[in-house]
C-alpha cells in the first residue's frame, strides 16, 4: 500500500483552509499598502482590517469591535493578557491558575512567582476535571487575576468557564479573568458575554488559519498595558504595522469556523468516537485517560500500558499517521506530561499515552485505517516490552477502562 498522510495531530496545528489562503493572497500581491496610510491605495487594506475585526467580534460575540486586539499567536495573547492586567494592578500580588495550563501560561506564572507573586495552582481529578472548590477557596482580596484554559490541549477536557466567572465575581468582583481559548476555537461556540470573561485568547493556526496570527478579546472594562510599545496600532495596545494578509485570513477562518461548528459537534465527534471505540475494543488494557469528562469533539487521549508512546508514534509515522504523545523531551530525558501527572495517570500508562486530534478534514477511511493497523503496532511493541509478566496478567483480564 502507498504511504499516505493521515493527519491526526490537529491540536498541534491545522491545515490552512484553501478558502482562507485565497482571501489572503491579494494582500501579498497587489493590496500591500500600510493600512494606516492616508492615500487611496491604502483604503482596501484598511477596510479589510476593519472587516476582519468585525468577524472576530462576531466569532467571540463581543459587544464591540474595539475589544479585539490582533496578535501573532496564542502565546502572545496569553502574555499580553496576563502581563497587561498585572501591570495595571501593581498593588495586588496574588494570582491563580491551574496545574494543566499550556506552558505559555504555566511558565509565565512560574516566572511571575520568582518576581514576587504568590501563585495558587488549582488541581484536577483523575478525569482531568478542575477542583472548583479549591479555586473558590483560593480567591481573596489580593487576587489580581485568574487564568483558566477553556479546554486542555492534551486531553480536550472542557472547563466550566461560565461557572468559574460566577465564582470569581462572587468572591472578588475586582479580580480579572483570562481564558486561554486556543483549543476550543472552531470546535465549540465561544460567547464572551455569556461566559462573563474579561480577556480571552485564540490562535489562528489551530483553526485553519496560518501560523503567525492570533487575537485577544479584552472587554471595555479591562485596561491592560501593551506588551509591544511603539506606534498607535490596535488602539495603542499592540504596536507594529498590522499583518494584513494574516489578519484577513484569521477573519475568514473565524467565519468558516462558525459554519462548521455543527459539523464538529456531529461528524468530527462521530469519527473521534469511532476511533476511540475501535481502540478500546481491539486493544486490551487501553485506557481512556479522561474517563467521562466533557471534551471538545475532536480529541482523545489513550494510554497503552507498559510501552513507550514515542515508539508508538514512530510506528504510526512509518505508515504516514501523525499523532502526539504526552511526553516532552527535555534535557535528553523523556518527562511525562504535566497534564497527565496532574491527573495521576498511573505510571504504567503515562509514558504510553497518545493523543489523537481530528479536524473537519479527517475522513472515515482514515479512521478505519488507523483502527485496522493500531492493534498490530501495539502488539509488536508490547512483545519487546520488559514488562512481559505484567502484560501477560493484563491480557488475561482483558481489562479496558
- Active site amino acids: 329
Return the residues of window 160-189 that contact ligand PLP according to CB under 6 A: 180, 182-183
Residue 228, classified by CB atoms within 10 Å of its CB into exposed (0-12), middle (13-18) or buried (19+), is: middle
* Helix %, strand %, coil % of the chain (to 5): 45, 15, 40
Size of the site for ligand PLP (CB under 6 A): 13
The residue (of 153 and 243) whose beta carbon lies closer to ligand PLP is: 153
Tell the smallest beta-carbon distance from residue 240 to ligand PLP (Å): 17
Residues forming beta bridges with residue 69, ordered by sequence position? 216
The residue (of 150 and 284) whose beta carbon lies closer to ligand PLP is: 150
Tell the smallest beta-carbon distance from residue 194 to ligand PLP (Å): 21
C-alpha cell at 339: 497534564
Return the residues of window 212-231 that contact ligand PLP according to CB under 6 A: 214
The residue (of 92 and 237) whose beta carbon lies closer to ligand PLP is: 237
Which of the 8 DSSP states describes residue 151? Answer: B
> Per rule CB under 6 A, is residue 251 in the interface with ligand PLP?
no
**Which helix or strand (DSSP H or E) is residue 11 part of?**
none
The residue (of 180 and 305) whose beta carbon lies closer to ligand PLP is: 180
Residue 214 sits at φ, ψ, to 5 deg, of -150, -175
The residue (of 153 and 290) whose beta carbon lies closer to ligand PLP is: 153
> Per rule CB under 6 A, is residue 104 in the interface with ligand PLP?
yes
Tell the smallest beta-carbon distance from residue 181 to ligand PLP (Å): 8
| Nearest alpha carbon to residue 153 among 298, 363, 275 | 298
| Nearest alpha carbon to residue 352 among 295, 284, 286 | 286
> Per rule CB under 6 A, is residue 73 in the interface with ligand PLP?
yes
The residue (of 71 and 371) whose beta carbon lies closer to ligand PLP is: 71
> Per rule CB under 6 A, is residue 71 in the interface with ligand PLP?
no
Stretch that binds ligand PLP, among 29-37, 69-77, 88-96, 189-197 (CB under 6 A): 69-77
Cα 392 from Cα 388, distance rounded (Å): 6
Cα 243 from Cα 170, distance rounded (Å): 40
> What residues have CB less than 8 Å from 366, skipping those under 6 apart?
6, 8
How far, CA to CA in Å, does 107 sit from each of 166, 300, 360?
26, 25, 31
Tell the smallest beta-carbon distance from residue 79 to ligand PLP (Å): 9
CA 344 to chain centre: 21
Longest distance between any two alpha carbons in the chain, whole Å: 77
> Per rule CB under 6 A, is residue 203 in the interface with ligand PLP?
yes
Which one of residues 14, 75, 147, 219 is an interface residue with ligand PLP (CB under 6 A)?
75
Tell the smallest beta-carbon distance from residue 250 to ligand PLP (Å): 11
For 66-225, list the strands marked E by DSSP: 68-71, 94-98, 118-122, 143-149, 176-180, 199-203, 214-218
State which residue has the least CB distance to ligand PLP. Answer: 74
The residue (of 10 and 172) whose beta carbon lies closer to ligand PLP is: 10
Residue 65, classified by CB atoms within 10 Å of its CB into exposed (0-12), middle (13-18) or buried (19+), is: middle
Tell the smallest beta-carbon distance from residue 104 to ligand PLP (Å): 5
Tell the smallest beta-carbon distance from residue 374 to ligand PLP (Å): 24
Cα 337 from Cα 154, distance rounded (Å): 9
Return the residues of window 137-156 that contact ligand PLP according to CB under 6 A: 149, 153
Where along the sequence are the contacts to ligand PLP (CB under 6 A)? 73-75, 102, 104, 149, 153, 180, 182-183, 203, 205, 214
Amino acid at each position: 500500500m502507498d504511504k499516505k498522510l493521515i493527519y491526526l495531530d490537529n491540536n498541534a496545528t491545522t491545515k490552512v483552509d484553501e478558502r482562507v489562503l485565497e482571501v489572503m493572497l491579494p494582500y501579498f500581491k497587489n493590496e500591500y499598502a500600510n493600512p494606516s496610510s492616508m492615500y487611496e491605495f491604502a483604503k482596501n487594506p484598511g477596510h479589510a482590517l476593519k472587516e476582519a475585526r468585525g468577524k472576530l467580534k462576531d466569532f467571540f460575540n463581543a459587544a464591540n469591535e474595539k475589544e479585539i486586539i490582533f496578535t501573532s499567536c496564542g502565546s502572545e495573547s496569553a502574555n499580553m493578557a496576563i502581563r497587561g492586567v498585572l501591570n495595571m494592578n501593581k498593588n495586588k500580588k496574588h494570582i491563580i491558575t491551574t496545574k494543566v495550563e499550556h506552558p505559555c501560561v504555566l511558565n509565565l506564572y512560574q516566572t511571575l512567582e520568582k518576581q514576587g507573586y504568590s501563585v495558587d495552582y488549582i488541581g484536577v481529578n483523575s478525569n482531568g476535571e478542575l477542583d472548583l472548590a479549591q479555586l473558590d477557596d483560593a480567591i481573596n482580596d489580593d487576587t489580581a487575576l485568574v487564568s483558566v484554559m477553556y479546554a486542555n490541549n492534551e486531553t480536550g477536557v472542557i472547563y466550566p468557564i461560565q461557572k468559574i466567572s460566577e465564582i470569581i465575581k462572587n468572591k472578588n468582583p475586582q479580580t480579572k479573568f483570562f481564558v486561554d481559548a486556543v483549543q476550543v476555537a472552531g470546535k465549540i461556540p465561544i460567547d464572551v458575554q455569556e461566559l462573563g470573561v474579561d480577556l480571552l485568547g485564540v490562535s489562528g493556526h489551530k483553526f485553519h488559519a496560518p501560523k503567525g496570527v492570533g487575537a485577544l478579546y479584552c472587554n471595555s472594562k479591562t485596561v491592560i498595558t501593551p506588551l509591544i510599545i511603539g506606534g498607535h496600532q490596535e488602539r495603542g495596545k499592540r504596536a507594529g504595522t498590522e499583518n494584513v494578509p494574516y489578519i484577513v485570513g484569521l477573519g475568514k477562518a473565524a467565519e468558516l469556523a462558525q459554519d462548521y461548528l455543527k459539523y464538529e459537534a456531529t461528524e468530527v465527534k462521530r469519527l473521534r468516537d469511532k476511533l476511540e471505540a475501535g481502540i478500546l475494543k481491539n486493544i486490551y488494557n487501553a485506557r481512556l485517560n479522561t474517563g467521562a469528562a466533557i471534551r471538545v469533539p475532536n480529541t482523545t487521549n489513550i494510554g497503552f500500558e507498559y510501552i513507550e508512546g514515542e515508539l508508538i508514534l514512530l510506528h504510526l509515522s512509518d505508515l504516514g499517521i501523525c499523532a502526539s504523545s504526552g511526553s516532552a523531551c527535555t534535557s535528553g530525558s523523556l518527562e511525562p506530561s504535566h497534564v497527565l501527572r496532574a491527573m495521576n495517570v498511573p505510571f504504567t500508562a503515562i509514558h504510553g499515552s497518545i493523543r489523537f486530534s481530528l479536524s473537519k478534514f479527517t475522513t472515515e477511511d482514515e479512521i478505519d485505517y488507523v483502527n485496522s493497523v493500531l492493534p498490530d503496532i501495539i502488539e509488536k511493541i508490547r512483545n519487546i516490552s520488559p514488562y512481559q509478566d505484567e502484560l501477560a496478567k493484563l491480557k488475561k483480564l482483558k481489562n479496558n477502562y
